[in-house]
Amino acid sequence: MPDPLYVFLDSNIIFSAAYKCDSGFLELWNTPGILVMSSLYAANEVRRNCRNEQHLKRLEALLEQTMIVSDPLQDALPSGIELPAKDRPILASAVNAGAAFLITGDRNHFAQWMNRPIKTRYGSLIIMEPRPFMNLLKTLE
């Protein structure tokens, strides 16, 4: 992959990666050609949910390797997409950051838009769950 692939992580993905020291998704942070991104909103949500010092230390180590983008000033979502208030900043931040992928485990709210390109003002964004995304990465190598 010649140009970096901008991959935005929802808070639930960061939480899982920080919580499970043997998470298979941790390899994403060491994959050449991947720029892991998230937002201040997502990072703070994960911090609020950390239950012990080890978990918090793993989280902070991951965040040091993550490009944290500012939260959007406006909650502008791509046309036709409606989400609950807590999920709107995640998608808006991914769009504003120019991410190519938004990785989330939230099937309840994002399912109808998963695995297909969503047109944004910066190109397109594909929302995926972690396992299918990691499988896709293997085909791009």
In contact, 35 and 7? CB cutoff 8 Å = yes
Q: Phi and psi (nearest 5°) for 117?
A: -65, 140
Q: Which residues are CB-contacts of 9 (< 8 A; sequence separation ≥ 6)?
A: 36, 37, 38, 42, 66, 103, 104
Parse the chain into domains and list their residue ranges. Answer: 5-140
pTM score = 0.92
In contact, 97 and 123? CB cutoff 8 Å = no
pLDDT tens digits along 96-137: 999 999 999 998 888 888 999 998 888 899 999 999 999 998
Instruction: Report the distance separating Cα 79 and Cα 57, nearest Å.
Output: 39
- Residue type for 69, please? V
pLDDT tens digits along 34-61: 999 999 999 999 999 988 899 899 999 9
Structure tokens at 8: 């935005």
Beta strand ranges found along the chain (DSSP E): 5-9, 34-39, 67-69, 101-103, 117-120, 123-128
In contact, 63 and 29? CB cutoff 8 Å = no
What is the topology classification, in CATH, of domain 5-140?
A: Rossmann fold (3.40.50)
